[in-house]
Amino acid sequence: MENTINITVIDREGTSHDLEAPTDMNMNMMELCKSAELPVEGTCGGMAMCASCHMYIESDHELHEASEDEENMLDQAFFVEGNSRLGCQIHLADDLDGLVVRLAPVGE
Amino acid sequence: MIETDILIIGAGPCGLFTVFEAGLLKLRCHLIDALPQAGGQCAEIYPKKPIFDIPAFPEVLAGDLVDNLMAQAAPFKPGFTLGERAETIEKTDDDKFIVTTNRGTKHIAPVVAIAGGLGSFEPRKPPVENLANYEDHGVEYIIKDPNFYRGKKVVISGGGDSALDWTNFLADGIAAEVSLVHRRSSFRGHPDSVQKVIDLAEAGKINLITDAEVVGIGGDGKVEHVEIKKKEGITKVECDHWVPLFGLSPKLGPIGEWGLEIEKNAIVVDTFDYATNIPGIYAIGDVNTYPGKLKLILCGFHEATLMVQSAFKRIYPDKNYVLKYTTVNGVNGF
């Protein structure tokens, strides 16, 4: 389909969800997960100000580097790895077709 | 006992605007909030961020919006119980509610309006096994009294100002040993605090452990060591206290136990007047849910306005009320 890419989200139970993601709706990964009713909070609404959309990039896509704001907020997340990102900072675009992400564990 | 007409749980934009709309109906309000200041998320998370969808404000900073709401509410002299979390609710024989906070402050009102947003802000707890068993036995999320750490071995986690400031403070002749664990080598705190931490580490006065994370706790009934994961592997660090400082996140908390109908962490309301399933308790703003709900400040303002009309009828069932326009009548404060 035009303006649609395929993205796989692995939830915290290890189940894979294959999602069709629109690239013409100005959406990001946090919003995509919420729209698919996956357990991503997105408390701050997508300003890189809460770290509740922490996810790991599992495929070898080259993403833009995390901004200082994003790095600062990842400081407040847990189990941060080299492939950690905030979903709200990953804008859905054609070059992300086939992206695989895994939701990071959440604290209490 | 604090007495009021409408007891508002949550002093965010929605709760503050309720004071104004209630005031126009000559109803008094008192607000309870877990944060030490009014403004909710706007004040706590993003005071310097612009908001573009408040009607008639092409752009307004979240912090300024809060200041304006406070000014707008001021004529109606709202009361505040700040820094305390609404904990329990009980019904009195004369159909009022008593709400008690975690510090034991009691409030009584015929109407309770929950404007709690996403909940009360609580320290973010790391997902470390057996964490709860060590809470108050060596694990603290907030440093209340630095003297508590006198002569102790303390591990602090985090990379922001509170982690840096407490590291510097406790290292200055209070704690016996201070270790700061942070996931990377740069810090987001104030440059002076960052420099001080680096200087202390170079002088051997603190253990600065970067590119690392605490992943485990051990000890017999109290914290005796933490496990710190680095690239090279996991090492044990002996300590008496672990203080994880990872900021705050909102939790629905005790309100979830009040017998209200909850759906996906939100309180189900009737859009006629934003009443919950318990007569006399209303829910407005981000904390409620109904078909078509949008979590927007502007929708919360609308909900607050309709809600107080219903609250008025509950408090004064025999009084007639006619909507008055502020342009005609002005704002007559208390």
Give per-10-residue mean pLDDT for chain B (334 aa). Answer: 98 98 97 95 90 96 98 98 96 96 97 94 88 94 92 95 94 96 89 95 95 94 96 94 91 92 94 97 97 96 97 94 88 92
Which pLDDT band holds residue A106 (cuts at 50, 70, 90)? confident
Within an 8 Å CB–CB cutoff, is residue B159 touching chain A?
A: yes
Residue B36 has a pLDDT of 93
Entry pTM: 0.82
How would DSSP label each residue in A51-68?
Answer: -TTEEEE-S---PPPPPH
Name the packing angle between helices B297-315 and B13-24 (round to 10°). Answer: 40
Q: What is the H or E stretch that residue A5 is in?
A: strand A4-10
Strand B111-114, strand B6-9: pairing: parallel
Q: How far apart are the C-alpha atoms of B176 and B167, rounded to whole Å?
A: 12
SS (H, E, C) chain B: CEECCEEEECCCHHHHHHHHHHHHCCCCEEEEECCCCCCHHHHHCCCCCEECCECCECCEEHHHHHHHHHHHHHHHCCEEEECCCEEEEEECCCCCEEEEECCCCEEEECEEEECCCCCEEEECCCCCCCHHHHECCCECCCCCCHHHHCCCEEEEECCCHHHHHHHHHHHCCCCCEEEEECCCCCCCCCHHHHHHHHHHHHCCCCEEECCCEEEEEECCCCCCEEEEEECCEEEEEECCEEEECCCEEEECHHHHHCCCCEECCEEECECCCCECCCCCEEECHHHEECCCCCCCHHHHHHHHHHHHHHHHHHHCCCCCCCCCCHHHHCCCCC
Q: Are A102 and A58 in contact (CB under 8 A)?
A: yes
pLDDT exceeds cutoff 80 at A108:
no
Cα A25 from Cα A58, distance rounded (Å)? 24
B135, B249, B286, B293: best to mutate for the A interface, most A CBs within 10 A: B249
Nearest Cα of chain A lies from the Cα of B246 at a distance, in angstroms, of 5
Farthest-apart Cα atoms in chain A, separation: 40
Cβ within 8 Å, pair B46-A78: no
Kindly report, residue by residue over A15-30, the tens digit of the pLDDT: 999 999 999 999 999 9
Q: Which two tokens stand for residue A57?
A: 């990039």
Which residue in chain A has the smallest CA separation from B213?
Answer: A79
pLDDT attached to residue B17: 98
CB contact under 8 A, A75 and B182: yes
Is-contact B306 B273, C-beta < 8 A?
yes
pLDDT digits 0-9 by tens, A72-99: 889 888 888 889 999 999 999 999 999 9
Domains of chain B are 2-122+249-329 (3.50.50.60), 125-246 (3.50.50.60)
**Stretch A55-65: mean pLDDT, rounded?**
95
In a domain, A108, yes or no: no
Give B289's Cβ-side CA count (13 Å radius).
Answer: 10
Residue B152 falls in which region: left (phi positive, over 0), alpha (psi -120 to 50) or beta: beta
Q: Which among B20, B4, B32 has a CA at the least distance from the CA of B255?
A: B32
Best mutation site among A44, A75, A79, A85 for testing chain B: the one with the most B CBs within 10 Å? A75
pLDDT in tens, B153-200: 999 999 988 999 999 999 999 999 999 999 988 888 889 999 999 999
Which chain B residue has the Cα nearest residue A71?
B188
Instruction: Tell me which of B164, B188, B289, B297 to substitute to probe the interface with A (most A C-beta atoms closer than 10 Å).
Output: B188
Radius of gyration (Cα) for chain B, nearest Å?
Answer: 24
Residue B135, both tokens: 């809470």
Residue A107 has pLDDT above 80, yes or no: no
The alpha carbon of residue A53 is apart from the nearest alpha carbon of chain B, in Å, by 13
Nearest to B46 among A47, A52, A80 (CB): A47
Q: How far is CA B24 from CA B4, B7, B115, B255, in A?
A: 15, 16, 19, 28
CB-nearest partner of A50 from B45, B126, B184: B45
What pLDDT was estimated at residue A80? Answer: 87
The CA distance from B39 to B10, in Å, is: 9
Backbone φ, ψ for residue B286 (5° rounding): -60, -20
B131 touches chain A (CB under 8 A): yes
Under the banding of pLDDT at 50, 70 and 90, the label for residue A50 is confident
pLDDT exceeds 80 at position A1: no
Residue A9 lies in a domain: yes
Express each pLDDT in B41-72 by its tens digit: 999 888 999 999 999 999 999 999 999 999 99
What is d(CA A103, CA A93) in angstroms, rounded to the nearest whole number?
A: 20
CB neighbours (10 Å) of residue B123?
17
Question: Would A77 be classed as within a structural domain?
Answer: yes
Q: Using alpha carbons, list the distances in angstroms from residue B118 to A43, A54, B10, B69, B213.
A: 8, 18, 10, 20, 28
Which domain covers residue A70, as residue numbers? 4-103
B127 and A79 within 8 Å at the Cβ level: the answer is yes
Tokens representing B309 are: 């009309």
The residue written with tokens 């404007």 in the block is B115
Per the CB < 8 Å rule, is B46 touching A44? Answer: yes
CATH code for the domain of A17: 3.10.20.30
The whole-number pLDDT of residue A47 equals 84
Q: Write the pLDDT tens digit of every residue in B127-142.
A: 898 999 999 999 999 8
Record the tokens describing residue B321, joined without a space: 């009320």
The contact set of A with B (CB < 8 A) is 43-44, 47, 49-52, 68, 71-72, 74-80, 105-108
Q: State how many domains chain A has.
A: 1
Burial B259-289 (b: 16+ CB within 10 A, else e): ebebeeebbbbeeebbbbebebbbbbbbbbb
Inspect the interface and report whether the beta carbons of B46 and A49 lie closer than 8 Å.
yes
Domain assignment present for residue A36? The answer is yes
Q: Distance (Å) from the C-alpha of residue A34 to the closest C-alpha of chain B?
A: 13
